[in-house]
Structure 1
């Protein structure tokens, strides 16, 4: 399966558009795929990484309308720190849903955006489904992560060791350029292997320091974890068996905490399943979408 790679977003067409947020800001989104197809909204992680790194999620836009919002302060969306925390941007997703006018939507989120997606689902009912891809779940579940154990299996890999050392050296927060450079230096730690496709993918999408600070500002609501047992929307959690950033135990605990949660762990896969194992990723996601959002 490693020989099958994600399709270019240009294959299915890409349109850049804006929608009005509740605070009056004009926020940007990319739309891939047929305009009349069932809608999947995909939230990029990072935090605050340019959504170009999502591509078209291994060709998901071939049969779906894939809508990818630019977080506040990223891409073409303006930054207002007062409205840019992940909790506040959960409301932006609702504004986007209203703008699109789709009666049923699946919300997909990668990595750090999982908390935004879960917060949105708790506050705004009516989603057809949730897909949480290698979610950063530390703020959502209380469980010991196995990420260090996963990393230990790669201890003899010099490229991986150098990437981990860069990450552990501390974020370069002296400037936006330093922060982006720090993230790119640590990029190899996010993949199960460091091949041609992985290197090309790691170069896509800048990280934005000011937007990341705003996104992570403020504590989560006290009742966020308590609300998980009430979240009955069908939820697919996809983890990578070799994900040294989030591990497997936290995504597994998140899936178990949700009444309609299910977990799929992809072998030989790190933090970016649509790049590392695109065929396996599409198989599990397509099967889930066929259940909750038939086209």
Structure 2
């Protein structure tokens, strides 16, 4: 169980030593209750899209603004944006909060960071929510995502001809080198991250417009992510949460995590894509709240 020690609300910036450099790390605090540290996806997606107002009524949500994004610092060499970097800065935030342990929630690429953090710092993780993520990347992971995107394009191109360019947007064949261009590409292909964007465009457009992409982190170097053999070592109570129509980090990958992490729970949100907290907020909040109740964090 995490502590209810008060964490100051608002936006905060800390200075983190990284090699011979000192880099600013920004984070944002909202809500009340036990502390949950949240890492967004990407690499390179701004934190704003992951705001979870329903959970803020039950938890103190600490949203990390990853290095290379927003007002956080930048690396001199963009090749340095790798999993070790993000894990290091996540730990700096947890250490700065000065709590014995916290809940950690990671979405998509942020789920890679959360898995690595739970393995490297098990004593600091009270509970873990792995949201629309995977234990592995590599050739099979990406080819599956591309196949799913191609199917999505074929399904919708008659009514929405612009989806013909979605595969190129996903694979980086149209990737720009500046933040504005990267954001435009992400927002353009964003409907594929929903189960039914076109049927609820008026509701989801705000979430689409909250997406912001920063170009430099995409140039990071490092091996393909793969913690499958390590996952049985995770000791924190774990919820694996996934949308049933998530084209990129879908049920196949969620089940791999669930089957490997001892005692983990699996929650599949029906008729939901990669952004369940936006598309199915009621289902999303209910799943997280039920999990937290079982581990003594909050009451349902």
CA contact 2:130–2:241 (8 Å) conserved in 1: yes
Q: Secondary structure at the match of 2:223?
A: coil
2:117 equivalent among 116, 120, 127: 120
Give the drift of 1:83. Answer: 5.5
Normalising by structure 1, we get a TM-score of 0.84
Deviation at 1:221, TM superposition (A): 7.5
Match status 1:251 vs 2:257: no
Are the aligned partners of 2:135 and 2:225 in contact in 1 as well (CA < 8 Å)?
Answer: no
Corresponding position of 1:206: 212
Q: Which residue of 2 aligns with 1:64?
A: 59
How many residues are aligned here? 277
1:10 corresponds to:
none
- Assess if the C-alpha contact under 8 Å between 1:58 and 1:275 holds in 2: no
- Shift, 1:230, TM fit: 1.3
Unaligned runs of 5+ in 1: 1-12
Cα deviation 1:63-109 (Å, max 9, x = unaligned): 21100111011111111247532222112111111111122311001
Contact 1:243-1:269 within 8 A present in 2 as well: yes
Shift of 1:236: 0.7
The residue aligned with 1:51 is 47
**Whole-Å Cα distance in 2 between the matches of residues 104 and 141 of structure 1?**
35
**Residue in 2 aligned with 1:156?**
155
CA distance in 2: counterparts of 1:46 and 1:239, whole angstroms: 17
* Gap regions ≥5 residues in structure 2: 1-7
Matches within 5 A, 1:76-225: 76-80=71-75, 81=78, 84-126=81-123, 127-139=125-137, 148=147, 152=151, 155-158=154-157, 162-163=162-163, 165-168=165-168, 170-194=173-197, 195=200, 196-214=202-220, 217-220=221-224, 224-225=227-228
The CA deviation string for residues 16-50 of structure 1, in whole angstroms up to 9 with x for no partner, is: 0012324332210000013xx21000101022111
Following the alignment from structure 1 to structure 2, what is the Cα–Cα distance between the partners of residues 157 and 73?
Answer: 34
Q: What is residue 4 of structure 1 aligned with on the other side? A: none
Distance 2:57 2:67 in 1: 27
1:149–1:50 CA distance, 2 compared to 1 (3 A)? closer
Alpha-carbon deviation of 1:171?
Answer: 3.5
1:186 partner SS: helix
Give distance in 2, aligned partners of 1:161 and 1:290: 45
Q: CA offsets per residue over residues 221-277 of structure 1, 9 Å max, x none?
A: 88x432112112211111111112222111111221111322111101000111111
TM-superposition CA deviations, 1:165-190 (whole Å, max 9, x none): 32335232343332222111111110
Note if contact 1:58-1:282 (Cα within 8 Å) is conserved in structure 2: no
SS at match of 1:25: strand
Counterpart CA distance in 2 for 1:39 and 1:131 is: 13
In structure 2, what is the Cα distance between the partners aligned to 1:58 and 1:160?
A: 32
Name 2:5's counterpart in structure 1.
Answer: none
1:233 to 227, 231, 236: 236
Normalised by the length of structure 2, the TM-score is 0.83
Moved more, 278-287 or 173-182: 173-182
1:144 Cα deviation from its structure 2 partner: 9.6
Q: Which residue is 2:10 aligned to?
A: 15
CA–CA distance in structure 1, aligned partners of residues 151 and 95 of structure 2: 45
